[in-house]
Amino acid sequence: MRNYTRSIFLSALLGILLAGCGTTPPAAFYTLAPLPAAETGNGAVTEQSPAVGVGPVSFPAFLDRAQLVARSGSSELTVDELHRWGGSLQDDFPRVLGENLAHLLGTSRILLYSAEVPYPVDFRVAVDVLRFETTQRGEAVLKARWALLDPYTGEALQVKEETYRATAASGEPAALVDAMSRALGDFSRKVADAIRERPRPRRPARERGDL
């Protein structure tokens, strides 16, 4: 009788565990979005439109994961197992930055740093992302140290460290990711302004074929 009772108890416990596993919601996946106007297409290539290389873009190790990351305290992070990036944040960030710059500068001559095709550019943008997460207050925070570089000499034409914030419409993950996209959009505008304000670096005579 005791063995029979134990068998019923174990069967019931197994049923509860299996039922619990069956109610686990599926994971949702997200990507960053470019500026709304940038989604309609890039500008036409003209003699005036600059060619820009985007990258390298580096991230801290705590963002090198598939899950969305939120900051729940000054030194505490929350990782959301059920809400994830569709690809990787490390790939998404430079892709969207490139799309935004193409729109803002009216050019389609944007080359990601990882591209294997050699292509001469007028400027290169290097970014060190220090923070890119959401907070308990429903804010997206992007803190980045970035440099505008001469592609021929590697000289830093401008170096900045700035923080961008965008408030989410709600605490839902989709709204938080949208806020992250808007923070990246604000950063893209600042980079585009810096490129517009700079004369293009002159290609060395050896590369121009003058020698």
Q: What is the mean pLDDT of each run of 10 residues along the chain (211 residues)?
A: 46 50 75 86 64 93 88 80 88 95 91 72 94 92 96 91 96 94 97 92 62 45
5 found inside a domain: no
pLDDT of residue 101: 95
pLDDT of residue 97: 97
206 found inside a domain: no
pLDDT of residue 193: 96
16 found inside a domain: no
15 found inside a domain: no
Alpha-carbon distance of 136 to 148, in angstroms, equals 33
94 found inside a domain: yes
Q: Tokens in use for 133?
A: 């997460």
138 found inside a domain: yes
Contact partners, residue 84, CB within 8 Å, separation at least 6: 27, 28, 29, 30, 66, 67, 68
Number of residues assigned to the chain: 211
> What DSSP designation does 97 have?
H
pLDDT of residue 206: 55
pTM to 2 decimal places: 0.81
H-helix or E-strand spanning residue 176: helix 173-197
- C-alpha angle 147-153-154 in degrees, rounded to nearest 5: 25
pLDDT of residue 210: 46
3-state secondary structure of 109: coil
What's the number of domains the chain is made of? 1
87 found inside a domain: yes
> What DSSP designation does 65 have?
S
Given a contact cutoff of 8 angstroms between Cβ atoms, the answer to whether 125 and 93 are in contact is no
Alpha-carbon distance of 49 to 110, in angstroms, equals 10
**CATH code where residue 166 lies:** 3.40.50.10610
Q: Is 138 exposed, middle or buried (0-12, 13-18, 19+ CB in 10 A)?
A: middle
Alpha-carbon distance of 170 to 183, in angstroms, equals 16
Phi and psi torsions of 84, nearest 5°? -135, 165
* Phi-psi group of 175: left, alpha or beta (phi > 0 → left; psi -120 to 50 → alpha; rest → beta): alpha
pLDDT of residue 211: 45
Residue numbers of the domain that contains 154: 26-200
Beta bridge partners of 68: 80
pLDDT of residue 123: 93
Pairing of strands 52-58, 123-135: parallel
Pairing of strands 139-149, 123-135: antiparallel
pLDDT of residue 73: 72
pLDDT of residue 1: 46
208 found inside a domain: no
